[in-house]
Amino acid sequence: MERFIVFISLVALIGWISLGQAQGADKAFQEGKKLFENTCADCHRLNGQGLPAKFPALDKNPFVIGDPNQVIDTVLNGRKGKLG
């Protein structure tokens, strides 16, 4: 269940970052946007651009728009080793 909620939130988050505007968006989109603003934007910034050399941009990030299972696993469990 937790993975499903994270997955739905990430789908909404990616949609929000890609599309920019929240107008006319559905409930999951709004929930993902709120979750991102409250939980992620301090580091990755509201526009998803991050801060160079500190927090990676999520906007147009190939990892983020790639396999959703890897993204969910990273958010839930983190990663070890040299990261992108």
H or E element in which residue 23 lies? none
In angstroms, give the least distance from the CB of 71 to ligand HEC: 5
| Residue given tokens 């909620």 in the structure block | 5
Considering only residues 4 through 63, tell me which ones interact with ligand HEC, judged by CB under 6 A. 39-40, 42-44, 55-56, 58, 61, 63
Cα–chain center distance at 74: 11
Q: Nearer Cβ to ligand HEC, position 39 or 69?
A: 39
**Total interface residues for ligand HEC by CB under 6 A:** 16
Q: Nearer Cβ to ligand HEC, position 30 or 74?
A: 74
DSSP per residue, 2-31: HHHHHHHHHHHHHHHHHH---TT--HHHHH
Spatial distance between the Cα atoms of 45 and 76, rounded to a whole number of angstroms? 20
Binding site for ligand HEC (CB under 6 A): 39-40, 42-44, 55-56, 58, 61, 63-64, 71, 74-75, 83-84
